[in-house]
A and B are shown apart, each in its own frame.
Chain A
């Protein structure tokens, strides 16, 4: 499957393959998934992964699912075509995720009690002992993940040369021994004779973009922030946000920036606001519970009109909840989670690639409106791999700027008729009068003021930033029918399953369109008119339908448009929607 000279696909070639690896978290099944994802990126294929990690310190059952496709891949796959089971518990726990007639590779050193059902083809391979034999006696079972990678490469006829290149790049940095062992394990897996099935070559990839990269959502948020001119940040560890702070802590110094690990969430948001007050574009972030801790300071940022990027990688809540699972239950917290009338902007990326562009837009809006901007991502986007075209930095780059120019006699920190542009410390005042940035209600010059009309006007000023922004926002692009029986409305990582559900429903003869809303607050103007073009509006969300029967976005949309047709379909199992769950709910609604 070479990118340059792709042979015409045989009609029997696979266009999609969903492979589920089930083992323990220390077995390195994530690396197998990562290698497959990286390979897809270099071979013009699409890929999306999905993983679960136990929230234990070390070990525990874990899965990694890879969906490879020659064309567009929108979701990690409902059911697996191939299951790789490392242990008995992996086998017992995941056999039912395999489609009828699917293939199950199992470690015959560890798994027994095969169930003969649904035409599943069982192929026993001694992953453990074969790896030990290949590497040499002292290796224990380390390397069996790479053995499995070799096996899968052979079965799916993936590009062996490119794969070994990726392995060499990864392990070559560590030591020659490790690399040699990995290659031995890979070759042993690749050469393992599999008799019960034919090889199933994947059709060549169709994405001919020149420079494709593969990575996860948290990395793309971090890189988007760098490209957007963000150079200072502060945070506190919490899953699944932590990888952003680790990345920025290491990377920002290379860009003349700094990321500081703090004693707690309150200090982290405060440090970031200190840098923002000093004239830098700054970022803090966390996951649900950590955001709750930051909310007082975020109310301050709205009042003091300081720009700030706030990342929230949502997980299952409330409280410690499901710390390593996906949920979309922080939408209302992101929009309203503070005290007083504290408007802020909230953006939600729809997939890994979109994380970059959402972060860029967040940087631009934070500066333009001098206010906090949320990037509301989730555990699924944060941790999964996708392959996509490398962003063009010719167009998508913003140099960081620190404006220390002298402020003249007309400078006011909080003008009622203009957007706030602070004068950071170090900037001279031609009049010798220096401003105080404050969380007390203030007049245009920043003096504390309890004047009733002033408070109303200042509240209005802060609110109008968002009102004006809503007017300038484009309506989300419609996928599918531009009018008809049903509009599916989503935000964040439900994008893929909703898009595929749209196609399937239209394939069944329904007239269905769908949108994904990046600008969840403020919502773009014109949604109400769009909803009028459909008989039904259905909002799939990974949050609870609540006391009144509607999910969090659906509640907002009903409030904004007063449209009684808006209905919800909710899922709170800590896992993403399956396409089928959306199509079922949609058909039920359409058929009444």
Chain B
């Protein structure tokens, strides 16, 4: 998200100013770290307090707006992205952040992800992926690995999971990164780069559900014997779709970092261009006189 130009330099926000209700997540949930990281990055970037908007749909992670003291809206299941699109397009002065989980983003809202990405709407989207439906207490999610048991797959999941990275690459998102809630420094960096990116920026964040899916991401946590394997940006062509697709093929546990980053005109810019062009042809005529003129043409 760019459009960071603000007329008055913002006062630096404190963590106290940003904190709202005490999170209702389970103890040791990965989402706590995501919240802390968001506070860090927002403080560092100095965005005016009233210009921050937190948007979410439904799910554990989608409770995010209640825990942040900014303008926020808690919407319906799966539609956070189109709602945020309406905010971003109609109010280019705002900084729009969307938070949600794998069910909200890849299942019930899956189609919206494709379209927000291809339209390159200017916003930042953090998916807290825990491979399970947590709020409804342990059903199979679109990213649940084959074989993992849940209340809806007592014999183990049988459907091939979504590959979020490959989907994002093919649908045309212009900033795609992958991080891990247990890697705070890396998460901070990814969030910061996503926020500074002009256009549709997504950070897929593995965030452990300690209640229903404990240990699910241990294979990428070094202190638990896993490997936190980073994308080598020196060698990776970040503007290559093919390279990003290659990188997306193995996600178990796969690589972390920026998969793809490119510049393309945003939906916001393209719509604004049309508006400016339409207005320039009208000259000094007031909106009311413009409508009068329209009536006159219908006589």
Residues of chain A touching chain B, judged by Cβ–Cβ distance below 8 Å, are: 41-42, 211-215, 223, 226-227, 232, 234, 251, 253-258, 260, 262-264, 266-268, 270-280, 282, 296-297, 300, 304, 390-391, 393, 397, 399, 423-429, 432-440, 447-448
- B292 — which chain A residues lie within 8 A by C-beta? 393
- A275 — which chain B residues lie within 8 A by C-beta? 86-87, 89-90
Whether A435 touches B75, Cβ cut-off 8 Å, given contacts A260-B89, A262-B115, A273-B83, is: no
- A274 — which chain B residues lie within 8 A by C-beta? 82-90
A580 CB, min distance to chain B CBs, angstroms: 33
- B287 — which chain A residues lie within 8 A by C-beta? 226, 255-256, 399
B180 at the interface (CB under 8 A from A): no
Whether A393 touches B291, Cβ cut-off 8 Å, given contacts A434-B70, A435-B71, A436-B65, is: yes
Please measure, in the bound complex, the distance between the C-alpha atom of A268 and the C-alpha atom of B115, giving whole angstroms.
12
B50 in contact with A428 (CB, 8 Å): yes
Interface residues in B68-119 (C-beta closer than 8 Å to A): 69-76, 78-79, 82-91, 93-94, 111-112, 114-115
Can you list 22 residue pairs at the A/B interface with Cβ under 8 Å? Answer: A41-B299, A213-B295, A226-B291, A232-B86, A253-B277, A256-B275, A257-B275, A260-B89, A266-B79, A268-B82, A270-B75, A270-B79, A270-B112, A274-B83, A277-B87, A393-B291, A393-B292, A424-B71, A428-B50, A429-B50, A434-B50, A436-B73
- Nearest to A284 among chain B residues (CB) is B86
B111 in contact with A300 (CB, 8 Å): no
B267 CB, min distance to chain A CBs, angstroms: 8
Please measure, in the bound complex, the distance between the C-alpha atom of A280 and the C-alpha atom of B20, giving whole angstroms.
26
- B73 — which chain A residues lie within 8 A by C-beta? 277, 304, 436-438
Please measure, in the bound complex, the distance between the C-alpha atom of A41 and the C-alpha atom of B297, giving whole angstroms.
12
B86, B88, B291: the one within 8 Å of A227 (CB): B291
Please measure, in the bound complex, the distance between the C-alpha atom of A394 and the C-alpha atom of B51, giving whole angstroms.
36
Please measure, in the bound complex, the distance between the C-alpha atom of A278 and the C-alpha atom of B52, giving whole angstroms.
12
B125 CB, min distance to chain A CBs, angstroms: 14
B288 at the interface (CB under 8 A from A): yes
B83 in contact with A296 (CB, 8 Å): no
B275 in contact with A253 (CB, 8 Å): yes
B90 in contact with A253 (CB, 8 Å): no
B69, B82, B91, B111: the one within 8 Å of A278 (CB): B91
- A255 — which chain B residues lie within 8 A by C-beta? 287, 290-291
- A278 — which chain B residues lie within 8 A by C-beta? 86-87, 90-91, 94
- Nearest to B21 among chain A residues (CB) is A447
Q: Interface residues of B: mostly helix, strand, loop or mixed?
A: helix
- Nearest to A169 among chain B residues (CB) is B297
Please measure, in the bound complex, the distance between the C-alpha atom of A436 and the C-alpha atom of B54, giving whole angstroms.
9
B298 in contact with A215 (CB, 8 Å): yes
Whether A266 touches B291, Cβ cut-off 8 Å, given contacts A278-B87, A278-B90, A439-B75, is: no
A426 in contact with B290 (CB, 8 Å): no
- B21 — which chain A residues lie within 8 A by C-beta? 447
A251, A260, A425, A436: the one within 8 Å of B87 (CB): A425
B240 at the interface (CB under 8 A from A): no
Whether A213 touches B298, Cβ cut-off 8 Å, given contacts A223-B291, A227-B291, is: yes
B289 CB, min distance to chain A CBs, angstroms: 8
B291 in contact with A439 (CB, 8 Å): no
What 7 A-B pairs are tightest by C-beta distance, nearest first? Answer: A274-B86, A270-B82, A271-B86, A425-B71, A267-B82, A253-B278, A213-B298
Most-contacted residue by chain A among B50, B94, B271 (CB, 10 A): B50
B162 CB, min distance to chain A CBs, angstroms: 18
Interface residues in B1-50 (C-beta closer than 8 Å to A): 17, 20-21, 49-50
B75 in contact with A390 (CB, 8 Å): no
- B52 — which chain A residues lie within 8 A by C-beta? 425
- Nearest to A267 among chain B residues (CB) is B82
- A267 — which chain B residues lie within 8 A by C-beta? 79, 82, 85, 111-112, 115
A264 in contact with B111 (CB, 8 Å): yes
Please measure, in the bound complex, the distance between the C-alpha atom of A160 and the C-alpha atom of B266, giving whole angstroms.
52
A41 CB, min distance to chain B CBs, angstroms: 7
B131 at the interface (CB under 8 A from A): no
- Nearest to B281 among chain A residues (CB) is A254
Please measure, in the bound complex, the distance between the C-alpha atom of A215 and the C-alpha atom of B294, giving whole angstroms.
12
Please measure, in the bound complex, the distance between the C-alpha atom of A370 and the C-alpha atom of B70, giving whole angstroms.
22
A432 in contact with B84 (CB, 8 Å): no
